A and B are shown apart, each in its own frame.
Chain A
Amino acid sequence: LKSTYKYYNCNNDNLPLELTREEESALKGEQGEIMQMAYRILVATGEATDAEKLIPIEWAHLSGVNYNTIGDAGEELLSTISKDARVTVKTTLNPMGFDIDNVSNYKLDENFISKQLSIRNSYETMGVIPSFSCIPYEIFDIPKNGTQVAFAESNAAIHANSYDNLKTNKESAFSALASAIVGKSPYSSLRKEDTPNITIQMKVKNPNELTYGMLGFYAGKIGDTSVNISGLGEMDQRQCKAMCGGMGTSGTCAKFNFGEGDSNTEKIDFDEKEMQNVHDELNTAEKGDLITLGSPQLGLDEISDLAAKLKGRSFQKRCMVFLPRTVKEQAQKIGYITELERAGCEILADCCTCLTPLISKDDVDAVTTNSIKGAFYLKNSNGVDVNLKSLTQIVEDETR
């Protein structure tokens, strides 16, 4: 029942993407405009990545939620397509711009709030689970080894491939949305076998999460679709997330393979000098006016650890803590939230440091954070300076 389809007038030398008759009919528009749009995205992505077919996926994770990032054009697009589009597989969602419970404490205008709520409404109408989290791998059950998923959030795609034994490419916001609607993705790149041609050897001693974030940022710059990485010691969840967040920010790479790789791979050291280069690129201030924790958002273990670190201490300046709503609810039951608020933390669910509209260069010159991902976007998008410190250092320097 298969037919060979060639995309419009394209004349590719590689083997063409094979579509089933049903897929071909959807691409022609016989199953409506939404399906046609979704298939056009998947077919173009498949052609670009030399896919030979589309394969079913079991879970899509979407980005493109924060009004601060997608703007009016994105809000209008989602509003329009949500009239007809429905997701056909389990689909979860990235953070939005604020926490509705405390949005009035921040200087966001009515337009921002109403546009953000419209975006939320569009996704819910399409059947998306309103998780508003960039750490789906920590708050949802992980499917069985080798399951094909389509994760747009870059840190989540890397975490899924590297730590959760799932298979995804580094999806764009639109390819993941198309996959959520169709329930399929192009079978290419990291969805098949991958053999990295670069091995990064970790040479920095006594690393903390900031070191791993910089290692990830460095790896993302030199890797293509995946890299081998060796010399890593035991890592906690905070450090793993930092490494995934760093890599997702700087490159196209979407997987760490742990180990030396074979003898043919090019070996590159990540040493003190390389680390200093990344640090110099992202650290632009000696101190911050406020602190942000969470990019990626903090999970329950990190919240528990933070509460323990803050026992008997209080922040001397504002400290924004970003986490998924489900984690906030669990942490509330255990009493962590009361403890963090006592220590002066502002607890923010459903949103994240990354591209936050809650920090403006009109009010803030510099932000202290332990997130490399957060640092990059705070500097480039929010336009504020960044002071990088590990969490341990932050607690030592900024609390009494």
Chain B
Amino acid sequence: MNKILVSGKVEGIVLKSNDPINFLGTVDKKTGIISDKKHPLFEKAIKDTILVFPSGVGSSVGAYTIYSIKSNKSCLSCNTLLHEENHYHKFKS
């Protein structure tokens, strides 16, 4: 089932993770680079990508990290959450 939460059209390279992401503390809020050494996307930048991942985890303040990297123009083009059978097209900048 596809769910479109915020609509739009984008093109970009897909950056896919099967692991969830804790945006607070493990993603740089200026550069969008993933700093968690144990994460499969370690040292990858989410800038200009279509980020596909199962879910955010951990801190509620991760929302501000996403907002911040958008404000710093280091943001992903689109954010797609893979959640069981649901595909959420959640966020476009």
Interface set of A (CB-CB < 8 Å, partner B): 7-14, 44, 47-48, 63-64, 66, 69-74, 76-77, 152-154, 157, 170-176, 220, 248-252, 281, 355, 376-377, 380-381
Contact = CB atoms under 8 A, between A and B. Distances in A.
Contacts of B25: 355, 376-377, 380-381
A63 B67 CA distance: 14
Given A9-B4, A44-B6, A355-B24, A71 B61 contact: no
Nearest to A177: B63
A173 B55 CA distance: 16
Given A281-B38, A377-B25, A380-B35, A70 B61 contact: yes
A14 B86 CA distance: 11
A74 B67 contact: yes
A377 B60 CA distance: 13
Interface of B: 1-7, 20, 22, 24-26, 29-30, 35-36, 38, 55-65, 67-68, 70-72, 81, 88, 90
A252 B61 contact: no
A189 to B, nearest CB: 12
Contacts of B68: 70-74
A136 B42 CA distance: 35
A92 to B, nearest CB: 14
B7 A10 contact: yes
Given A73-B67, A252-B56, A48 B61 contact: no
B58 A73 contact: no
Given A73-B68, A281-B38, A173 B63 contact: yes
A190 to B, nearest CB: 14
A174 to B, nearest CB: 5
Contacts of A173: 60-64
B55 A252 contact: yes
Contacts of A69: 24, 59, 61, 64-65
B32 to A, nearest CB: 12
B7 to A, nearest CB: 5
A57 to B, nearest CB: 15
9 contacts: A14-B3, A44-B90, A48-B3, A69-B59, A72-B68, A355-B25, A376-B25, A380-B36, A381-B25
The 7 closest A-B CB pairs, nearest first, are: A381-B25, A73-B71, A73-B68, A152-B60, A172-B63, A70-B64, A10-B4
A11 B67 contact: no
A33 to B, nearest CB: 17
A171 B63 CA distance: 10
A69 B59 CA distance: 11
A251 B29 CA distance: 20
B3 A47 contact: yes
A250 B57 contact: yes
B60 A153 contact: yes
B82 to A, nearest CB: 13
Given A12-B4, A47-B3, A64-B61, 10 more contacts: A63-B60, A64-B60, A64-B64, A71-B30, A71-B68, A250-B58, A252-B55, A252-B56, A380-B22, A381-B24
